[in-house]
């Protein structure tokens, strides 16, 4: 185990190096365990084929997540053929005037940027007990980046949404294996017409990389990552929610608390939309050995469409909570970094916990709210540390 | 370059994709398009060049009577790590096997129960936690951090 000083020194070194050459971060990797992966560095490999990569929590020390450290979630294979010149986006369904746009035409719409915290609905699934099937994400299927492009609203308004248009469906160019249902989902028209819902073509100031949906993706701010369809190729206005695997039974949450083994009827569930309130401790990392004295506990907290109002830290199993200091960087849909100066009274083993509260009055629960697909685990975060 | 990646990653993968998704039979045609993208890096809407991927990226399913059949059946569409990381009850594995069969996995009905036994024996809640590997951008080929 590293001492706190070594840890912080390495983290700050890493932050410095990350701006220059992400490839030099290999100090963080267990020897002989790393898998070469161009453009993705130090990421936790949940799956190589198809690609699912998780960000180690210790990377959450910058407000914006560098692209090589941004989690990647794919439900199936990435498109093999991606030719920017031939790429087209069709807009149809319940509209007056169906459109087909190429990238050059998209770029003529007014541009708009938002900073968004994107989180996979299954982030934290592996921490549920009993475990449920799916990618066994730890705490790092989340990241924050500026996204820019055009407003979905502007495209829909040009096409002219009919009064019958109630939902907006996105289809991506994912390569579908076998008889797997295609990855198609829809969002309600109100969210589609929100001024901050984008057809994004850029992330962190550069064109989207292939893993993040080049050349264009939906970006539905504050909502579960699955709403923000990558490799977008078709937008269809529907008179009802899209019917398909990734709307039901996928990405739904029970209306009432359920226990493991309970049969949950589809009509007793609702589709996942906005993210809930959550925090993560980025340092010290779980299992750290620290020297007595001042310890800076750091992390990030986010709340989907709501704002973080408070992050509290406990070092005594939740008996008492102290307020952490929130970072200056903020944006409507983005996380807040936070820090807390902890002075452990004596040597020993401690559990550090973080608990966020948002502007809707929501607070993280003490334990995961178990559900059959392991979605939206927003339990109070905790790490175990030893102080000598 | 995609072609070589798939071939090295899994000999059966390319074949599987030709069978599974008609669109993927465009691999040959895709190559000039990818080369075009890579050479046009200065244009505004261009994906970064994809690097060739080294061979040692795959993981194997554990030994057992059903190893070969599980490999052939499950790894046509996804890799072993997706299985290795699960810790599920036998009932949950049965649901997964039946779901995957519905989604195109070729499971001989005579093998169904043995496959479920194999998966639940190796990947049940009593097994130690799966230790995932990390990636490395060995050549520093990633996009500059912003």
Residue B50 has pLDDT above 60, yes or no: no
Q: Are residues B31 and B75 in the same domain?
A: no
Segment among B36-40, B47-51, B129-133 with least mean pLDDT: B36-40
For residue B39, the chain A residues in CB contact (below 8 A) are none
Residue B137 has pLDDT above 70, yes or no: yes
In chain B, how many domains are there?
A: 2
Judged by CB atoms closer than 8 Å, whether chains meet at A35 and B43 is answered as no
Structure confidence at residue A184 (pLDDT): 98
**Which of left, alpha, beta for A382 (phi over 0: left; psi -120 to 50: alpha)?**
beta
Q: Are residues B74 and B117 in the same domain?
A: yes
What is the C-alpha separation between A189 and A169, in angstroms, rounded? 10
**CATH no. for residue A45?**
3.90.420.10
For residue B21, the chain A residues in CB contact (below 8 A) are 77, 175-177
Greater confidence (A155 vs B146) lies with: A155
Q: How far is CA B2 from CA A79, A234, B29, B48, in A?
A: 11, 25, 11, 14
Which structural domain, as residue segments, surrounds residue A232? Answer: 1-388
Structure confidence at residue B24 (pLDDT): 36
Q: Are residues B34 and B72 in the same domain?
A: no
Q: Are residues B71 and B118 in the same domain?
A: yes
Q: Read off the pLDDT band of B43 (50, 70, 90).
A: very low
* DSSP-assigned letter for residue A353: E
**CATH no. for residue B112?**
1.10.760.10
In a domain, B86, yes or no: yes
Structure confidence at residue B139 (pLDDT): 57
Q: Is the peptide bond before B57 cis (omega within 30 degrees of 0)?
A: no
What is the C-alpha separation between A193 and A220, in angstroms, rounded? 10
Structure confidence at residue A163 (pLDDT): 98
Residues 92-111 of A with CB under 8 A from B: 103, 107
In a domain, B107, yes or no: yes
Strand order in the sheet with A336-342: A278-283, A295-302, A336-342, A325-326
Compare CB distances from A37 to B2, B34, B136 and report the shortest one's residue.
B136
In a domain, B97, yes or no: yes
Structure confidence at residue B58 (pLDDT): 79
Structure confidence at residue B78 (pLDDT): 94
Helices B67-74 and B112-122 sit at what angle, rounded to 10 degrees?
100
What is the gyration radius of the CA atoms in chain A, in angstroms? 21
Exposed/middle/buried for residue B105 (C-beta within 10 Å: 0-12, 13-18, 19+): buried
Judged by CB atoms closer than 8 Å, whether chains meet at B85 and A46 is answered as yes
Residue B109 has pLDDT above 60, yes or no: yes
Best residue in A32, A36, A74, A244 to probe B by mutation, most B CBs within 10 Å? A36
In a domain, B61, yes or no: no
Which structural domain, as residue segments, surrounds residue B81? Answer: 67-122
ipTM: 0.88
Structure tokens at A179: 């008889």
Q: Are residues B78 and B117 in the same domain?
A: yes
Q: Is A383 helix (H, G, I), strand (E, B) or coil?
A: strand
Structure confidence at residue B56 (pLDDT): 60
Structure confidence at residue B59 (pLDDT): 87
In chain A, how many domains are there?
A: 1
Count of other CB atoms within 10 angstroms of residue B8:
16
In a domain, B81, yes or no: yes
DSSP A149-187: EEEHHHHHHHH-B-TT--EEEEEE-PBPPTTPPP-EEEE
> Mean pLDDT for each consecutive 10-residue tract of chain A (388 residues)?
38 33 33 79 94 98 97 96 93 98 98 98 97 98 98 98 98 94 97 98 97 98 98 98 97 96 93 98 97 95 98 97 98 98 95 98 97 97 97
Structure confidence at residue A313 (pLDDT): 98
Structure confidence at residue A14 (pLDDT): 36
Q: Give the global pTM.
A: 0.84
For residue A45, the chain B residues in CB contact (below 8 A) are 81, 132-135
Element of type H or E holding A52: strand A52-54
Structure tokens at B28: 């040959």
In a domain, B72, yes or no: yes
Q: Considering Cα of A264, then A267, then A273, then A276, what sign does the dihedral take? A: negative
In a domain, B23, yes or no: yes
Structure confidence at residue A73 (pLDDT): 98
DSSP A250-311: TTEEESS---TT----GGGEEE--B---EEEEEESPTT-EE-SS-EEEEEEEE-TTS-EEEE
Question: Cβ contacts of residue A267 below 8 Å, gap of 6+?
Answer: none
For residue B135, the chain A residues in CB contact (below 8 A) are 34-37, 40-43, 45, 53
> pLDDT tens across B63-108, in order?
999 999 999 999 999 999 999 999 999 999 999 999 999 999 999 9
Structure confidence at residue B5 (pLDDT): 35
How far is C-alpha B118 from the chain's CA centre?
Answer: 19
């Amino acid at each position: 185990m590293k001492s706190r000083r070594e840890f912080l020194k390495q983290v700050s070194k890493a932050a410095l190096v990350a701006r220059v050459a992400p490839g030099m971060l290999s100090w963080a990797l267990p020897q002989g365990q790393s898998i070469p992966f161009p453009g993705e560095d130090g990421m936790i490999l949940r799956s190589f084929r198809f690609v699912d990569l998780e960000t180690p929590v210790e990377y959450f020390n910058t407000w914006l997540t560098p692209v090589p450290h941004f989690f990647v979630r794919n439900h199936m294979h990435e498109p093999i053929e991606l030719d920017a010149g031939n790429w087209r986006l069709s807009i149809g369904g319940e509209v007056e005037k169906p459109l087909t746009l190429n990238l050059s035409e998209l770029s003529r719409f007014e541009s708009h940027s938002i900073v968004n915290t994107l989180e996979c609905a299954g982030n934290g699934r592996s921490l549920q007990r009993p475990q449920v099937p799916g990618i066994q994400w730890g705490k790092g299927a989340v990241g924050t980046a500026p996204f820019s492009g055009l407003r979905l609203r502007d495209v829909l308004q040009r096409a002219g949404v009919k009064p019958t248009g109630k939902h907006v469906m996105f289809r991506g160019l994912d390569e579908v294996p076998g008889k797997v249902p295609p990855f198609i989902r829809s969002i309600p028209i109100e969210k589609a017409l929100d001024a901050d819902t984008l057809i994004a073509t850029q992330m962190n100031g550069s064109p989207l990389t292939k893993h993040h949906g080049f050349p264009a993706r939906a970006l539905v701010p504050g909502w579960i990552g699955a709403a923000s369809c990558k490799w977008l190729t078709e937008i269809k206005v529907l008179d009802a929610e899209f019917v398909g695997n990734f709307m039901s039974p996928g990405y739904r949450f029970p209306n009432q608390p359920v226990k493991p083994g309970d049969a949950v009827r589809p009509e007793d569930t609702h589709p996942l939309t906005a993210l809930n309130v959550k925090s993560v401790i980025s340092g010290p990392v779980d299992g750290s050995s620290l020297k007595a004295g001042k310890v800076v506990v750091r992390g990030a907290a986010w709340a989907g469409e709501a704002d973080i109002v408070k992050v509290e830290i406990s070092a005594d199993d939740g008996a008492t909570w102290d307020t952490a200091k929130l970072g200056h960087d903020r944006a409507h849909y983005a996380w807040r970094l936070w820090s807390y100066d902890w002075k452990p009274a004596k040597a020993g083993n401690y559990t550090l916990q973080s608990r966020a509260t948002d502007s809707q009055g929501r607070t993280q629960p003490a334990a995961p709210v178990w559900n059959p697909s392991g979605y939206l685990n927003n339990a109070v975060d905790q790490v175990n540390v030893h102080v000598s | 370059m995609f072609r070589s990646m798939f071939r090295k990653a899994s000999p059966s993968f390319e074949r599987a994709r030709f069978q599974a998704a008609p669109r993927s039979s465009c691999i040959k045609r895709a190559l000039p398009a990818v080369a075009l993208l890579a050479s046009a890096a200065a244009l505004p809407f261009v994906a970064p060049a994809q690097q060739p991927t080294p061979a040692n990226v795959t993981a194997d399913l554990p030994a057992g009577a059903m190893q070969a059949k599980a490999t052939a059946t499950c790894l046509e569409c996804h890799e072993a790590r997706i299985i290795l990381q699960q810790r599920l009850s036998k009932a949950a594995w049965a649901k997964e096997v039946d779901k995957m069969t519905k989604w195109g996995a070729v499971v001989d009905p005579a093998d169904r129960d043995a496959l479920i036994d194999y998966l639940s024996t190796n990947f049940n809640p009593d097994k130690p936690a799966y230790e995932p590997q990390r990636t490395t951008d060995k050549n520093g080929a990633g996009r500059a951090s912003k």
